[in-house]
Chain A
């Protein structure tokens, strides 16, 4: 008998059957998610595309569906992100640098670390309560754009810290050694060697965290962002609304026309999220080329 002829072909055929069965099972598992998402998208497109016109972007909310738009909500969301982005970047990356580079590895820092990881999973409504207590009442910032942005900053901070820490930790030790061996101080090493290597992953994490904030509703409902705002905020102390709140408001009305408006609003929100995610990928690629 040739060395390539195995008497135990039945056993091999059984192994292949297991392989094939699992292959199909995994495919089904993947498909269920994708099919559900596609169904949702198609449903929203069918409902909303007819309402997706210029008025949606230029009109303020109205009791009459024909006249209603989400200008104040779109502008509110954009303003909120513009305020959040620098604050959450500085605080989040600063905390990550401290924890990774400066903090001594003690029981205390491990406790802080555990807390931050836990905070990343706390329900967003809890941040709403915190924001209401601290910013709206405590600091008397009222139901302003600033209160909303600060509350959302708290919400995304743990996510940014954890992702920035991972990015910093991924920088090889050899690059730090090279810098220290040339006589660099800690900050020189962090700013000239570690951060340039980590910045693309850090920015990706920040953008993804911000895109989560854009889709959040609960904390802002809690601190009292309004559902009906017929003006644009002119200062950070003005009242405001954001896209998900406007969508929620439209969905909760009985008339079909408002449901279509809500679907159109969701399309706009999704488009914004996709743009942010694409820009995160592009940023990453741009910096990786420089490496």
Chain B
């Protein structure tokens, strides 16, 4: 309990409504996400958890017909205001996708892609970033002798850790993970879960998962979504052991979803 109060709020979402055309995908969503902790979004398919995740780095902007009402503040700044450049936002809020999606380039160039976008040219600086990022993603020892090899030569789990390293290379504060382990085998999944435990000391992590056990294992806070609404938001331990809403209880005990 004490941890939850000690943590500082980093992301503040207030009365957020999101529409895809006429479809009301998120309904009056409000929550605060604490700094340097893992927050998990759970819920059945189509409940809006991925949609909310994608509003945090404005990837929804690219879907035609998306309309947003309400506020999303990160560190006190409304990310949908004119003062925020979406490029800067996405640099600060990194994202890892469901399917590992490395570029058809070398391992080195995959990691260097982000820093190069933002203007880092110096070879020694890039070398340093590549090494640090791969070390943080616990991939360095496996690939340090093959940095020039294609990223496609890696296994699925290694590719996903490469994508995490690539996201870390632009020095974000927040890392969004959209069902990042659902395409991986159990051992690779475990490695990524361990990695998340490491990374939360330096980064704020928000993960979408449809694996409740993963949320219970990895996260500090859990948010349960249903039909575009937040049903319950609490410390993971409390939410799983003593849910206050009947629907949450039904979902985590496997009665639906």
Contacts and interface: CB of A to CB of B under 8 A. Distances in A.
Interface residues of B, number: 30
Contacts of A175: 101, 103-104
Chain A interface helix/strand/loop/mixed: helix
Interface stretch (B40-48, B57-65, B135-143): B57-65
B167 interface: yes
A282 B114 CA distance: 31
Contact of B90 (A104, A180, A193, A291): A180
A59 interface: no
Given A105-B64, A177-B59, A183 B117 contact: yes
Interface in A129-176: 172, 174-175
A277 interface: no
A183 B114 contact: yes
Interface in B54-111: 57, 59, 62, 64, 86-91, 94-95, 97, 99, 101-105
A182 B90 contact: yes
A285 interface: no
B59 A181 contact: yes
Contact of A182 (B91, B104, B152): B91
Nearest to A173: B101
A185 interface: yes
A177 B101 contact: yes
B251 interface: no
Contacts of B104: 175, 196-197, 290-291
Contacts of A192: 113, 116-117
B25 interface: no
Given A105-B64, A182-B114, A183-B118, 10 more contacts: A172-B101, A178-B102, A178-B166, A179-B117, A181-B94, A182-B167, A183-B86, A183-B87, A192-B113, A197-B104
Interface of B: 57, 59, 62, 64, 86-91, 94-95, 97, 99, 101-105, 113-114, 116-118, 150, 152, 163, 166-167, 170
